[in-house]
Structure 1
Amino acid sequence: MGDADTRPVGDGRDRDTQGRARSARPRDGLGRPLPYGADGVERQPEGVVRSPGETVVEAQALLDAGKPFHAHEVFEDAWKSGPESERELWRGLAQVAVGLTHAARGNVRGGARLLRRGAVAVREWEVESGEPRPYGIDLAGVGEWAVGLAERVEKEGGAVDAAVEAPRLRP
């Protein structure tokens, strides 16, 4: 299941039509590459411009489905296409999603670090912007959840179930 706009080139790497490196290998639900020809999970399209509300709804659905890597892609699209004033909000939420991805993969150290980094980012954005619930997102709750999961992952070790651990973006 490769990306139709990705092809191998002379250096052996898959590249998109603009020449940027893009892996055409299929991926599992946590974004890990699988061997060529394996059945993978459909990729999240990149570069999609969504309204903030659509971003939250789509990201929550992906988180609930145990696909935090895919949710991170949705948040990344928002941070790249949204207003400069909201960049850190979406980047922080993407870091939280990637932290959950790493925790689900069993990467205790990386998961905890990214969960905490994302928690700090969303909390700082809330303080600086004065908006505690932009687009209905419970930033304090997301930050608290991320720090709590980071502590639990460090204490207990091992992989977590991403769908079970998914945060609630809106109360």
Structure 2
Amino acid sequence: CLEVLLIRMCRALNSNNNTIFFHGKFASPQFFKALGCDDLVSAVFELGMGLCRLQLSDEEMALFSAAVLLSPDRPWLTEGQKVHQLQEKVYLALQHSLQKNGASEEKLDKMVSKLPIMKSICNLHVDKLEFFRLVHPETAYSFPPLYREVFGSELSLPDSTDS
């Protein structure tokens, strides 16, 4: 799921000054590095800028997001082959969309080359989140409910709205 957020993030980035629109204003990587996860922040911004340079249309972004979500290597899947077949159909639709829009053939290759980077960022995010939860459990309890729902499925954090 974080992969889709990473893809969508490029819409909130300002590639001219390397900032992202966050809470009503533009923030630089330094703003987020105060959280103590420089490597994660740097990787996210670098990926975001790379995706910005691809100038994905809404259709391309939607199809790429769908293809990423339909990853057959997710550990909890029971029918990975069916998911792979569906993912292939989405990639064909993405390729067709790129051709229809006159994009170069290498654009899809550039998009696909971002997949290992996204996976690495997702793994790093999980590691950082686990560490943060151990070091600052009181702050982890106050994470927004949606964030906890998406990124904390195996967490036993109480709902911060239950006070």
TM interval, short-chain normalised = 0.3 to 0.5
TM-score normalised according to structure 2 size: 0.33
Q: Whose relative contact order is higher, 1 or 2, with alpha carbons under 8 Å and at least 6 apart? A: 2
TM-score normalised according to structure 1 size: 0.31
Q: Which has the higher helix share?
A: 2
Larger radius of gyration: 2
